[in-house]
Chain A
Amino acid sequence: MLAYISSIWSYRYFWYSLVQNDLRQRYRGSVLGMGWSLLHPIAMTAILCVVFGGIFQQDYRFFGPFLLAGMAIWNFLTQSITAGCNSFFMAEAYIRQQPVPMAIYPLRTVLGLGFHFLIGMGLVIALSLWFLGWPGILPFLSIIPSVILIFLFGWSISSIFGLATVYFRDTKHLSEVGLQILFYITPVMYPPSVLEGRRIGILLKFNPLSPFLELIRDPLIYQKLPSIETFGVATVLTLSAMVVAYSALKASEKRIIFHL
Chain B
Amino acid sequence: MARIELDNLSLTFKMRACKSITLKEFLIGKIFTRKAPPDIIVDALKNVSFTVEKGERLGIIGHNGAGKSTLLKTLAGVYYPTSGTRIVEGKISSLFEITLGFEPESTGWDNIAFRSYLQGETPKTIAAKKDSIAEFTELGDFLNMPVRFYSAGMLVRLAFSIATAIDPEILLVDEVLAAGDLAFQAKARQRMKDMMAKAHLMVMVSHDLSSIETICDKVIWMDHGSIRMYGPSGVVVKAYQDSVRSEAIAA
Instruction: State the A residues within 8 Å of B (CB).
Output: 10-11, 13-14, 17-18, 21, 25, 28, 93-100, 167-170, 174, 254-255, 257-259
Contact = CB atoms under 8 A, between A and B. Distances in A.
B80 interface: yes
Contact of B100 (A11, A13, A25, A96): A96
- Where chain A touches its partner, the secondary structure class is helix
Interface stretch (B21-29, B127-135, B200-208): B21-29
B76 interface: yes
Contacts of A17: 110, 113-114, 117
A97 B78 contact: yes
Interface string B18-51: 0011111010000000000000000000000000
B103 A21 contact: yes
B78 A99 contact: yes
Contact of B76 (A93, A99, A170): A99
A192 B14 CA distance: 49
Contacts of B114: 14, 17-18, 21
Given A96-B73, A96-B101, A174-B23, 20 more contacts: A11-B117, A17-B117, A21-B106, A21-B110, A25-B103, A93-B102, A94-B118, A97-B78, A97-B97, A97-B98, A97-B118, A98-B119, A99-B77, A168-B20, A168-B21, A169-B20, A254-B80, A258-B14, A258-B15, A258-B79
Contact of A13 (B26, B77, B79, B117): B117
Nearest to A174: B23
B123 interface: yes
Contacts of B23: 168, 170, 174
Interface string B71-83: 0010011111000
A147 B102 CA distance: 33
Contacts of B123: 13
Contact of B94 (A95, A98, A168, A170): A98
A17 to B, nearest CB: 6
21 contacts: A14-B117, A14-B118, A21-B103, A21-B114, A25-B105, A93-B101, A94-B101, A94-B118, A96-B97, A97-B101, A98-B119, A99-B78, A100-B118, A168-B23, A169-B22, A170-B22, A170-B23, A174-B23, A254-B80, A258-B14, A259-B20
Nearest to B11: A258
A258 B97 contact: no
A258 B118 CA distance: 21
Contacts of B22: 168-170
Interface of B: 13-15, 20-24, 26, 73, 76-80, 94, 96-98, 100-103, 105-106, 110, 113-114, 117-123
B78 A98 contact: yes
Contacts of A174: 23
A13 B21 CA distance: 36
A250 B111 CA distance: 29
- 9 pairs of A and B residues whose beta carbons are closest in the complex: A93-B101, A254-B80, A14-B117, A99-B77, A93-B100, A13-B117, A170-B23, A25-B105, A14-B118
A10 B96 CA distance: 23
A28 to B, nearest CB: 7
A65 B55 CA distance: 66
Given A14-B118, A21-B106, A97 B20 contact: no
B94 to A, nearest CB: 7
A257 B79 contact: yes
B14 A13 contact: no
A178 to B, nearest CB: 12
Contacts of B76: 98-99
Nearest to B100: A93
A94 B22 CA distance: 26
Contact of A257 (B78, B96, B103, B106): B78
Contact of A255 (B20, B78, B80, B102): B80
A258 B101 contact: no
A257 B97 CA distance: 14
A94 B159 CA distance: 13
B20 A13 contact: no
